[in-house]
Amino acid sequence: MAKLVECVPNFSEGNNKEVIDALGQAISRTPGCVLLDVDAGASTNRTVYTFVGSPEAVVEGALSAARTAGQLIDMSRHTGEHPRMGALDVCPFVPVMNVSMEECVTCAHVFGQRLAAELGVPVYLYGEAARQESRKALPTIRAGEYEGLPEKLAKPEWAPDFGPPTFVPRWGATVTGARTFLIAYNINLLCTKELAHRIALNIREQGRGTDQPGRLKRVQGIGWYLEEENIAQVSTNLLDFETTPLHVVYEEVCQDAKALNLPVVGSQLVGLVPKKAMLDTAEFYIKKEKLFILEEEQKIRLVVSRLGLDSLSPFHPQERIIEYLVQAGETDRGLVAKPLSTFVRAVGGRSAAPGGGSVSAAAAALGAALGCMVGLMSYGKRQFEELDPIMRKLIPPFHQAMDELVAMVDADSRAFSSYMEAMKLPKNTPEERERRMVAMQQGLKTAVRVPCALAEKVSGLWPALKELARHCNLACKSDIQVRPWAGALEADGLTTFPCMVSHPVLTSGLHLSSCASQTGRWFPPTNFFAVCNPCRRADLHQPLPEFSHLCGKAMNGSQCWSHILKIPRWKALCATVSQRVGVLQHKGLPCCRTVCECSGSAGEPLASLFS
């Protein structure tokens, strides 16, 4: 999949629309860059641009905008509420998808070096890209701001990482680096700038100094006044929203404001926000207020309402949540975005993927959806009012599994492709053959983890399904009966893939092929054959000991199972992946060496068998 880096340059211009537009055009016209958001502030006299692209593309986009800024911004005339030290004040690179932090550090180094060389300006590195521990924090580098740069640059300890240690009046200095996702979040208050700053000092990690630290970890804060809105704000940067979530910052500010008899009138997100940050906040208020909300869209609405995110301007999730923007820009959104008829034809095509794993995940998702539907049909109705507490507990697992299983449709196809790519590697020399074998083994493990997770997910739903069957609306009886039938296919993802690959010990004997009797009970298949072949691995010339005496023999299903279930570790794995619908069903198991060598016990999480 494509690598995606987010770049968030902050330019010291927030009033001149021509300059703001010119900077945006410089970014959007760069091949491979997608401009996602432009957030201009009049009082701060600062505009934050957010764009994404490949590592190489975002560096070019940032340089293009910096060249434009060098022509249009004069820092000697700049004033604003926000701390700043340069025309391009700060330019962080953030990993978004399939990109490591090390790659973003490289982006920052390349960008800083080229910016200093082209424009002849001083550039500092911060965050994960910093070369000195003392320069990791942005406020430390920016202390003294633009006005203090001449004195700062004269000190040897503040020599820039790139460029000359000389003051460039028109530009100032730039800070670039790599970091995790930062959320710029402001809480609105009807008060003075001084009172807002007092609250900011209380909550930010730095506090009022080393002897008076603030309450919230990984949070920066300052108080200022927005003349254009006639309100004050506690302006914060959440450096790690999982350490200190959005709702914690909001609630802490509300607590201090209440103590000072100050009204809080909503809040504001600057730039983009990760979906998880919004959903974590939704879960907080759902739990706090004992609400029952399932749909992602409704959870986002709840957050917008509780935090007052639309108090200054409309909050459009599709334009502000980064995952939604990235998804909207994707040309290939995978199998799940295709019409059902297209998906079916893709499965029926002359290719190994999508195959049994993707079909199993789709069937499992439909099974979970049926469970969710039955629960919702039994919830919120007067005649079933006494069932509401039970349904509130039972419905969420099915709803969550529904989304997770849908994602596995494409995940399985991608995982299988990694193995197929490894098979195409050259094998002319011993070294090439060894590299190919290592890649194949890694691809095989990757491929097995997806159907393994599928089986675990399905297994976890059975207790809820049984309880749902005892309490649900009787009118939905036929729908809930379909759900266990779907289970026959759901575990296929665990067994189908390893039997399809070219690295088996048993090539086809354990392939799932379940059939049902008229009683609705599931029984082991009896119409398939197992043919054992020697393992093809160079370091394993003989088949696994458990199956050595079966090589070349054909057996019916009953004979195959009779042998397999005599082996404790295979029997344990069978029991782990099996489900009960009236009677214990043994559906099959993987037959690659990775799994053969595991020694899991009954009830052990399947993921541990492949670690």
Catalytic residue ranges: 82, 412
Peptide bond into 95 cis (omega under 30): no
Give me the sign of the Cα torsion angle 168, 169, 171, 175. positive
| Residue from 63, 55, 23, 26 nearest 39 by CA | 23
Three-state SS at 198: helix
Q: Where are the alpha helices (DSSP H) in 133-245?
A: 138-142, 149-153, 193-203
Q: Look-up: residue for tokens 């782990």?
A: 576
Contacts for 7 with CB less than 8 Å, ≥ 6 apart: 50, 51, 52, 53, 58, 61, 62, 91, 92, 93, 94, 107
Q: How far is CA 97 from CA 111, 326, 367, in A?
A: 20, 10, 30
- 378-403 residues labelled b (16+ CB within 10 A) or e (exposed): bbeeeebeebeebbeebbbbbbebbe
What is the C-alpha to C-alpha distance for residues 605 and 453, in angstroms, rounded to an integer?
A: 10
Beta-bridged to residue 222, according to DSSP, are: 235
Asked if residue 26 lies in contact with residue 20, where contact means CB atoms within 8 angstroms, the answer is no
Q: What is the CA radius of gyration of the chain?
A: 30
As a whole number of Å, the end-to-end CA separation of the chain is 24
Secondary structure of 370-389 in HEC code, one letter for each residue:
HHHHHHHHCCCCHHHHHHHH
Three-state SS at 174: strand
DSSP states of 495-507 as a string? HHHHHHSS--SBS
CB-CB neighbours of 571 under 10 Å:
16
DSSP states of 65-127 as a string? HHHHHHHH--GGG---SS---BSEEEEEEEEEES--HHHHHHHHHHHHHHHHHHH---EEEEE
**Helix, strand, coil percentages for the chain (3-state, nearest 5):** 50, 15, 35
Task: Cite the beta strand spans of 414-536 per DSSP E.
Answer: 515-516, 522-523, 530-531
What is the C-alpha to C-alpha distance for residues 60 and 66, in angstroms, rounded to an integer?
A: 10
